[in-house]
Amino acid sequence: GENVEQHPSTLSVQEGDSAVIKCTYSDSASNYFPWYKQELGKGPQLIIDIRSNVGEKKDQRIAVTLNKTAKHFSLHITETQPEDSAVYFCAARKGGGKLIFGQGTELSVKP
């Protein structure tokens, strides 16, 4: 089955800097890759997603890139703000199958 590895597990940046979180997946048939943000004590919420027919997607300060050949995808947050501090999860899914998550990255943005 699918396996998703996520790095780093913790990331600390200064406000205004960029943050990059990377994930790799094992099943080459996976075709949907969402990113979720989870604040303390709450359920994860989708922030951006990408499908396998696209190499990059951007939404304001957030972007995701996908390299299907290498089976990895990354989340890029520019101009980080303290409210970006949270735990971020990547995930992968094949067709209508199960959604498998990475281990999470705790992002801390220091003012």
Partner 1 sequence: SQTIHQWPATLVQPVGSPLSLECTVEGTSNPNLYWYRQAAGRGLQLLFYSVGIGQISSEVPQNLSASRPQDRQFILSSKKLLLSDSGFYLCAWHQQGGGTEAFFGQGTRLTVV
Nearest to 23 by CA among 60, 77, 66, 74: 74
Q: From the list 27, 31, 62, 74, which residue makes contact with partner 1 (rule: CB under 8 A)?
A: 31
Residue with tokens 């990547």: 90
> How many residues in the shown chain lie near partner 1 by CB under 8 A?
27
Q: Does 27 bind partner 1 (CB under 8 A)?
A: no
Shortest Å distance, C-beta 79 to partner 1: 25
Confirm if 45 and 36 have CB atoms less than 8 A apart.
yes
Nearest to 65 by CA among 33, 19, 26: 33
User: What is the contact surface with partner 1 in residues (CB under 8 A)?
Assistant: 31-32, 34, 36, 41-46, 49, 51, 87, 89, 91, 93-96, 98-104, 106
